[in-house]
Amino acid sequence: MTYDLFIGDRTFSSWSLRGWLMLRQFDLPHRTHMVGLYDGTMAQDLADLAPARLVPVLRDPDGIVIFDSLAMAETLAERHPDFGLWPTDPAARALARSMTAEMHSGFTALRGDCAMQLQHQWQGFTASDAVRADLDRIQTLWSLARTRHGAIGPWLFGAYSLAVAVYAPVAARIAGYGLPVDTNAQAYVDTTLADPVFRQWRAMGLTKRYDPLPYAQPLGKIDWPGPAPVPARAIEDGTPENTTCPYSGDPVTHLMESQGRIFGFCNAFCRDKTVADPDAWPAFTAMRDAAS
Ligand SMILES: N[C@@H](CCC(=O)N[C@@H](CS)C(=O)NCC(=O)O)C(=O)O
């Protein structure tokens, strides 16, 4: 039982992030396939998935294609009723569904003016009145979810839910543009940025470089405001502490240096995603910390 998920560039595709979180956060088995959002191959990459024309796209184990994130959410919830994709409490579930639907159809100013990007924080971005109005509404909704239903955990409805996945790119936009929000909303943004699963997505996105940068702003940049990664870099030569890749168990071919130690991986992508944020990867940290 494995789903196929088709996504766009991780650094920029907010809907792809939502789709991936819906699977990854609930441990639903899936293979991820990249679609060339900026490479001119999108139509060709989606040709077998007609009538899909945007990402994400989900293909279920029977070959059924679901080509919209809200449809994905409801389909996954229906197929996996015991996995807690929606909150179990009816009032919480109704609010979670309403908030999810409002995100899907609304917040056009925020989405239009602040395209998601996970590389850095733009400095000196001025939010328009329309963006501020979207932020006010988002803070009202987040606060309702947290105060009414958030007691059992850090997420909007306590435990992770589909609504949390859907609002993760909103937290990323607040972070990426340094948007003005109150302390509760900022704390929620920080929770999102510190989530290891979100960090893994971001680290995988950072393996790809862009020139020109999509959605560039005429502004300065400062470091991404999430947890600072421990320093690491790709290297060509050296003797790694491990002979097999911590992810696949295959022989080491690509090297990384971090804090004076050398580690190996079985391909460039796995090396580079680890370089981007070593502590985001439990299979790597378990190996690193066991050996230290
Ligand atoms: N309503 C769709 C929106 C999907 C969407 O807009 N995806 C963007 C990437 S984040 C896309 O495919 N853009 C390509 C294009 O517009 O050509 C959903 O919820 O899945």
66 CA from centroid of ligand 1 (Å): 13
Per-residue pLDDT of the chain (292 residues; tens, 9 = 90+): 899 999 999 999 999 999 999 999 999 999 999 999 999 999 999 999 999 999 999 999 999 999 999 999 999 999 999 999 999 999 999 999 999 999 999 999 999 999 999 999 999 999 999 999 999 999 999 999 999 999 999 999 999 999 999 999 999 999 999 999 999 999 999 999 999 999 999 999 999 999 999 999 999 999 999 999 999 999 999 999 999 999 999 999 999 999 999 999 999 999 999 999 999 999 999 999 997 7
% helix, strand, coil for the chain, step of 5? 45, 15, 40
Determine the residue of 18, 54, 107, 114 to mutate for testing ligand 1's pocket, defined as the one with the most ligand atoms within 8 A of the Cβ atom: 54
Q: What is the pLDDT of residue 83?
A: 97
Q: What is the CA radius of gyration of the chain?
A: 20
Q: CA 74, CA 87: separation in Å to the nearest integer?
A: 13
Which residue blocks in 60-161 are alpha helix, DSSP H? 69-79, 90-105, 108-113, 129-149
40 CA from centroid of ligand 1 (Å): 15
Q: Which residues contact 98 (CB under 8 A, 6 or more apart)?
A: none
Q: What is the pLDDT of residue 291?
A: 76
115 lines ligand 1 (CB under 6 A): no
216 CA from centroid of ligand 1 (Å): 19
15 lines ligand 1 (CB under 6 A): yes
Among left, alpha and beta (phi > 0; psi -120 to 50; other), residue 258 is beta
Counting from 1 in the atom list of ligand 1, the atom nearest the Cα of 19 is 20
Q: Does the global pTM surpass 0.75?
A: yes
Q: What is the pLDDT of residue 292?
A: 74
74 lines ligand 1 (CB under 6 A): no
Tell me: cis bond preceding 51? Omega within 30 of 0 counts.
Answer: yes
